[in-house]
Amino acid sequence: MNFTTEFPLPFILGGTVEENIALLDDYFFNEKGSGTDLEGFLVLDGTGDDDENMWKIVSIIEEDTCVTARVDFNNSNITFLGVPIGPDNSLSVEKTAEALKAQGLTVITQEYDLILPEHFITIEPYDWICYWDKTYWSQDEFLEETVDP
């Protein structure tokens, strides 16, 4: 799958917990020290090399709303705007950042992940991509949550 700046899966970023549970094939709640996450699984037909492809989505819940959608990678053929980011095909964090910058994107590079501040997206090459709801998070809040001090 080739991810882009728009969230591509049938999960409503900014939608209610109930709306998103209706879309998931299986789900559970993960109680954290400072809140709860919705963790769920989407099974999509015809999205990969196999006839069926399962994606794990983890979402931060705020006020009964899913304000993030982190997709954990489940196979090796994953890219973001054509740049490899999957478990078996990813470049290093630094080389991934360089490839995205070459496409004109603003990228903040950290030790393990990348932040695309203009698009409210974080990427940890080899592991996941996370979309943040722009209608919930301000630019400052997004950066405060994602950029290491």
pLDDT value for 95 = 97
Cβ atoms of 91 and 100 closer than 8 Å: no
pLDDT at 77: 83
Closest of 59, 72, 52 to residue 27, by C-alpha? 59
Determine the pLDDT at residue 51. 46
Other residues' Cβ atoms within 10 Å of the Cβ of residue 71: 22
> Are the beta carbons of 129 and 123 closer than 8 angstroms?
yes
111-144: per-residue pLDDT in tens? 999 999 999 999 999 999 999 999 999 999 999 9
DSSP 51: S
The two beta strands, 121-124 and 79-80, are: unpaired
Positions in the chain short of pLDDT 70: 34, 46-52
Instruction: Answer whether 114's CB lies under 8 Å from 108's CB.
Output: yes
Distance of CA 3 to the CA centre of its chain: 9
